[in-house]
Amino acid sequence: MANEKKLVQCVPNYSEGRNLEKIDKIVAPYRGKEGVKLLDYKRDEDHNRVVVTVVGEPEAVKKAVIESMGVAIDVIDMTKHEGQHPRMGAIDVVPFIPIKNISMTEAIELSKEVAKEASEKYKLPIFLYEKSAITPQRQNLSKIRKGQFEGMAEKIKEPEWKPDFGPAEIHPTAGVTAVGARMPLVAFNVNLDTDNLDIANQIARRVRHSSGGLRFCKAIGVELKDRGIVQVSMNMTDYTKTALYRSFELIKIEARRYGVNVVGSEIIGLVPMEALIDTAVYYLGVEDFSMDQILESRLME
């Protein structure tokens, strides 16, 4: 193949969603760097959080992320932070996602390098999570983050919660950080023609992994008050193994029980092309399809 350049995505979450000047400083290390492309950053004032999306070559992304982590530690003071989203540190979480010509193993390795360097440089305790996790307990970010910034000073003194890198005490103003590798997430919501939230919740329970459903699907019921309907709001955590169409068709099947219909869906934010190509290939029953047949795949080489 013409171009074997490795591409990794990184979606660091920082605990600052209100002060534009500080956000600009945090994002600056991702701008104008060879091998790093800033795709997006979305701040949320209620969450008081900014989510940055960058993509690029592993070494270049690694350097930019470590630089940006330093800036975030300088400008964010977690002792004064408030926001609706659960958080435990100035740099709350740093996920690495393999995109192209890079294996999950390599993305895990990269996440460990970042965790090691950043923890030493900034005296920051760091947990490895998701695919990088050392123990099953640490795979799940919400288990690591439980207690949040305010509870973390005590929590990480427990032997069970000793950080994977850095000191066993929190950074006084930056708390702790989780770093890890994961598959791309697809935020996929399916709308129902009812205003009964209980129905959406019951369907969500049947579809999601944690209560007997699809392996790589997280789901909750959500009300869309302005439209007078409810939805099953999902995070598809590995679309290569749990396809979008599978959760969609399963929701249709479960909805029948209530005489309820699926009336549409939403995809929030970015989605890898393959997640939708795979869906089209399923519905059209295309035999022997290869992603190499996609014109744009060839152009990206």
CA nearest neighbour of 219 among 237, 239, 194: 237
With H, G, I as helix, E, B as strand and everything else as coil, classify residue 89: strand
User: Does the protein bind its own copies through residue 286 (CB under 8 A)?
Assistant: yes
Q: Which residues are catalytic?
A: 85
Distances from the Cα of 117 to the Cαs of 76, 120, 134, 175, 301, in angstroms? 20, 5, 18, 17, 32
Subset of 95-114 contacting its own copies (CB under 8 A): 99
Write out the binding residues for its own copies, residues 191-230 only, by CB under 8 A.
191
In the chain the first and final C-alpha atoms are separated, in Å, by 7
**Using rule CB under 8 A, residue 253 touches its own copies:** no
191 vs 165, 219, 228, 235, 283, CA distance in Å? 42, 13, 11, 14, 20
CB 167 within 8 A of CB 125: yes
Closest approach, Cβ 292 to its own copies, in A, equals 9
Residue carrying structure tokens 């600056």:
28
Binding of residue 277 to its own copies (CB under 8 A)? yes
**Do the Cβ atoms of 148 and 86 come closer than 8 Å?**
yes
Coil/strand/helix, residue 53: strand
Give the nearest distance from C-beta 254 to its own copies in angstroms. 16
Closer residue to its own copies in complex, CB, 56/89 = 56
* Nearest distance in Å: CB 9, its own copies: 8
Residues 39-78 that bind its own copies (CB under 8 A): 39-40, 55
Taking the C-alpha atoms of residue 58 and residue 81, their distance in angstroms, rounded to an integer, is 31
Nearer to its own copies, 12 or 125 (CB): 12
Q: Residue 96 or residue 248: which is nearer to its own copies going by CB?
A: 248
Q: Tell me which stretch binds its own copies (CB under 8 A): 14-22, 32-40, 148-156, 203-211.
A: 32-40
271 belongs to the binding site for its own copies (CB under 8 A) = yes
Q: Which of residues 128-167 bind its own copies (CB under 8 A)?
A: none
User: Of 2-10, 110-118, 127-135, 196-204, which segment contacts its own copies by CB under 8 A?
Assistant: 2-10
Supply the minimum distance, in Å, between the C-beta of residue 152 and its own copies.
33
In angstroms, give the least distance from the CB of 52 to its own copies: 14
- Strand 177-181 and strand 126-130: pairing? parallel
By beta-carbon proximity to its own copies, the closer residue of 245 and 258 is 245
Helix (H), strand (E) at residue 179: strand 177-181
50: number of Cβ within 10 Å: 23
- The site for its own copies (CB under 8 A) is made up of 2, 7, 9, 37, 39-40, 55, 99, 184, 191, 244-245, 248, 262-267, 269-273, 276-277, 279-281, 283-289, 293-300
